[in-house]
Amino acid sequence: MDLKTVLGDAYRDDMTLSDVEAALKDVDIYKGYVSKDTADKYASEAAQYRKELKAKMSQSELEQTEAAEKMNQLQTDYDSLLRKVKMSENRAEFLRLGYDEKLAAESAEALINNDLVTVFKNQEKFINQVRESVKADLQKQIPTPQSNAGVVSVNYADQIDAAIAEHDMTKLAYYQRLQYEQSKKGVN
């Protein structure tokens, strides 16, 4: 229950704490509720009536009532066990798919409760975990490049001289840039 419901027409959006206190003085927040003493009185009366009813029942009626109570208890126990078995089966299936223990248990619970929103959110978490795992595995498989091993050094001086002799400034600029990049990498 929120303040707007409790105060009714007296509620305003800009109320201060003192305004709320003043408005609550006029409101009976227990209206419509039964006091604890009254509830206890009715509960004890109901228990007394059950005792009187049992006393008035014949032996066969008592046996039928007890049998029905036992049957209800057996049905409750059966439903509980069936739920646990289904939970266990679902959890095992999620684990078989590769879910971690916590996510498998949460997903199995959600599936039993027909909470498909949670099942799909957990499936999305699982897919993201698999993607990250595959990505990490692939990155581990990429060999690291070795520095200067197998790199062939090219002498660009001859090409630069030829470009100067031919008066080809485009080739000259190209070979000078290659020579500069090679010197930056430390290749002789």
- Answer whether residue 29 shows pLDDT above 80: no
Q: What is the dihedral of CA 121, 122, 128, 129, to 10 degrees?
A: 160
For 4-18, b where at least 16 C-beta lie within 10 A, e where not — what string?
A: eeebeeeeeeeeeee
- Answer whether residue 142 shows pLDDT above 90: no
Find the range with the poorest average confidence among 1-5, 51-55, 61-65, 156-160: 1-5
The residue count of the chain comes to 188
- The identity of residue 58, as a single letter, is S
Helix (H) or strand (E) holding 27: none
Instruction: Tell me the C-alpha distance between 40 and 37, whole Å.
Output: 5
**With bands split at pLDDT 50, 70 and 90, how would you rate the model's confidence at 106?**
very high
- The predicted-structure confidence for 145-173, as pLDDT tens digits, reads as follows 666 555 566 788 889 999 999 999 999 99
* Tokens describing residue 111: 């599936």
Q: 4 or 96: which carries more pLDDT confidence?
A: 96
Instruction: Tell me the C-alpha distance between 27 and 6, whole Å.
Output: 8
